[in-house]
Amino acid sequence: MEFYTARLFGGQDIKGGDKSYKDLKQTYQITILANVKFFNDDAYFHTFEYYDPIRRVPLDGRTRIITLELAKLDNIVEKPIGEMAVSERWAVFIEYC
């Protein structure tokens, strides 16, 4: 996921003396995992960005890695729609779309 995020981000055409880092567009790499539990927790949604883990200082960079693990939706699907968070509704929609 990091590799593809870096390729997307670094592949932007900002060549030339009049271009700088601030001309780079934000880059999102979204991974939807259908039948695999990738992370060893119960969370179905993760978002990653660069930060200093010791001091908990974010880099405020322009890249994000977002993962959605559909195999972890069992408990969410049991909820009434009115009790679901927006992200839960979207995850269920993608699962059954």
Task: Work out how many domains the chain is built from and give that number.
Answer: 1
Q: Enter the tokens of residue 71.
A: 């195999």
CB 57 within 8 A of CB 21: no
As a whole number of angstroms, the distance between CA 32 and CA 42 comes to 16
CB neighbours of 57 closer than 8 A, spacing ≥ 6?
Answer: 51
Q: What is the pLDDT of residues 2-47, one digit of tens each?
A: 999 999 998 998 877 888 888 889 999 999 998 889 999 999 999 9
CB 64 within 8 A of CB 26: yes
Confidence band, pLDDT 50/70/90 cuts, at residue 67 = very high
The answer to whether position 55 is within a domain reads yes
- What is the reported pLDDT for 83? 94
Q: Which domain holds residue 48?
A: 2-72
Evaluate whether residue 79 is within a structural domain.
no
Residue 57 has pLDDT above 90, yes or no: yes
Q: How many CB atoms lie within 10 A of CB 14?
A: 13
Residue 66 domain flag: yes
Beta carbons within 10 angstroms of residue 27's beta carbon = 19
